[in-house]
Amino acid sequence: MTSPLRLGIAGLGTVGAGVVRIVQSHPELLAARAGRGVEITAVSARDRSRDRGVDLSAYAWEDDAATLAARDDVDVVLELMGGHEGIAKQVVETALDAGKDVVTANKALLAHHGQALAERAEAQGRVIRFEAAVAGGIPVIKALTESLAGNEMTRVMGVMNGTCNYILTRMQSAGLPYDAVFQEAADLGYLEADPQLDVGGIDAGHKLALLASIAFGTRVDFSGVELEGIGAITIEDITHAADMGFRIKLLGVAQMTGRGLEQRMSPCLVPDSSPLGQLEGGTNMVVLEGDAIGQIVLRGPGAGAGPTASAVMGDVMDLARGLRLPVFGQPAAGLRAARAAQAAVPAPYYLRMRLLDKPGALAKVARVLGESGISIDRMRQYDHEDVSAPVLIVTHKTTRFALEEALSAFEATGVVQGAPVAIRIEQV
């Protein structure tokens, strides 16, 4: 049997402690599967005295994570601290420069510095693995990089922020407005210290950028992700979308188009009978589409100590078994710069507006749509409330350009009260 694989763990939050728990709980199982032992030799965190519910006494302690990353008795550094600058980046760089492989759960770090870090790893003959960085325990990085390696990928989609999905599904089930459920999520500890990372779509956008890089062989381009959070989603839209057979999700979509790489992280409508539409609460889901496979759907826990540690250990076990790949599935030097395309792919849209109680109001709205080349799939007008009535329109496929033309023309009709809401319907 080969010598044991020695782990150094930088960061002992819930994920780090979860990894310690796995390594301690069934060492024989890990050894049987890896063909060698898997051991922890050193750990590092900010506060040595904190009780993490695991016995750390057998491991060397380093106050400085970068010192841990360079230790001679460490083969693989687990960077489980988070943050895209500062110490986390330094730890990964130090580890690579010292000739060690890296496993990280840090989506922000890779979304911002993935290309540079991948090149650095490859220059050293080392690898960086990051299954835990995207959709927690769901093995999406492996499925995309390895299982679907025979496919030209056509689209990658996902609900990859459990907090946003919790908020949106809770709004619907409890009939509560956004602000109330946001506060609930805050009270439950579901939100990041900076809530915009969640509700602004930034965290999920990081994940999407990583998936897009693997799927399309392009350099990670987080700046090319069109970001729109869920803060403007109202209970009215959730309810009305449900009336029309849809659910609203913070959905990430990446696809290669004739005009470049389209990456969107934004609220979208999806059919309520689709797997994405049926996804409730904090669970994540990723949909992978390729020319041979058609579509597969992966569903699972997107966060939490156990699932995230499971993903970290999957990477560790690959390294223990000698399974090594370039960081983004092919050599970093060969990744193309992505040309960012702004929502080029036509789609149907959901429109909600309030029509004033004037003769011919609906005809005027319909004419504006027609003049922009937008045809109507379904329309529903509700009872008048005071001087106006809610109107819902589901369009056939149209371009965003045509849609924006129509939206700006509505005002001149004099029959639309306030600003119409338009939300893309993603065809799943």
Binding residues for NADPH: 107
Q: Does 242 help bind a second copy (rule: CB under 8 A)?
A: no
Q: What are the Cα distances from residue 256, in Å, to 259, 261, 293, 361, 418?
A: 8, 5, 17, 40, 36
* Contacts of 264 by beta carbon, 8 Å cutoff, 6+ apart: 225, 226, 228, 251, 252, 253, 254, 343
Number of alpha carbons in the 13 Å side-chain half-sphere of residue 392: 18
Known catalytic residue at 207: yes
The residues, ordered by sequence, that sit 6+ positions from 49 with a Cβ below 8 Å of its Cβ are: none
Q: Sort 128 into a burial class: Cβ within 10 Å, 0-12 / 13-18 / 19+.
A: buried
Angle at 414 between CA 410 and CA 416, to 5 degrees: 55
> At a CB cut-off of 8 Å and minimum separation 6, what does 121 contact?
96, 102, 127, 128, 327, 332
Half-sphere exposure of 421 (CA within 13 A, CB side): 20
Answer yes or no whether residue 125 interacts with a second copy by CB under 8 A: no
Q: Which of 142, 207, 249, 364 is catalytic?
A: 207
Where does this chain touch a second copy (CB under 8 A) — which range of 60-68, 102-110, 227-235, 312-320? 312-320
Query: Per-residue contact track with a second copy, 270 to 309, x per CB under 8 A?
Result: ---x-x--x-----------xxxxxxxxxxxx--x-xx-x
Among 54, 98, 176, 317, binds a second copy (CB under 8 A): 317
Question: Which 257-276 residues touch a second copy, going by CB under 8 A?
Answer: 273, 275
In the bound complex, what is the minimum distance in angstroms from residue 224's beta carbon to a second copy?
A: 21
Instruction: Considering only the stretches 6-14, 31-39, 166-174, 382-390, report the one whose residues sit in contact with a second copy under the rule CB under 8 A.
Output: 31-39
Report the nearest approach of a second copy to the CB of residue 121 (Å). 15
Q: Does 29 bind a second copy (CB under 8 A)?
A: yes
When asked if residue 37 is in the footprint of a second copy (CB under 8 A), the reply is no
Q: Tokens for 359?
A: 């003769």
- The burial of 34, by beta-carbon neighbours within 10 Å (0-12 exposed, 13-18 middle, 19 or more buried), is given as buried
Residue 320 or residue 415: which is nearer to a second copy going by CB? 320
Q: Which residues carry a binding-site annotation?
A: 10-17, 107, 192
Q: Which is nearer to a second copy, 139 or 158 (CB)?
A: 139
* Binding-residue pattern over the window 162 to 201 for a second copy, x denoting contact by CB under 8 A: ----------------------------------------
- Phi, psi for 318 (deg, rounded to 5): -60, -45
Alpha carbon of 222 to those of 164, 201, 225, 227, 261: distances in Å? 19, 12, 5, 10, 12
Cα angle for residues 258, 202, 179 (degrees, 5° grid): 125
**Selected binder of a second copy within 30, 211, 212, 415 (CB under 8 A):** 30
**Residue 32 touches a second copy, criterion: CB under 8 A:** yes
When binding is defined by CB under 8 A, the residue of 9, 12, 20, 34 that contacts a second copy is: 34
The dihedral built from the CA positions of residue 311, 319, 222 and 14, taken in this order, carries a sign that is positive
Among 143, 235, 344, 379, binds a second copy (CB under 8 A): 143
DSSP 235: H
* Binding of residue 321 to a second copy (CB under 8 A): yes
The footprint of a second copy (CB under 8 A) covers: 18, 21-22, 25-26, 29-30, 32-35, 131, 137-139, 142-143, 146-152, 217, 273, 275, 278, 290-301, 304, 306-307, 309-314, 316-318, 321-326, 329-331, 334
Q: Which residues are catalytic?
A: 207
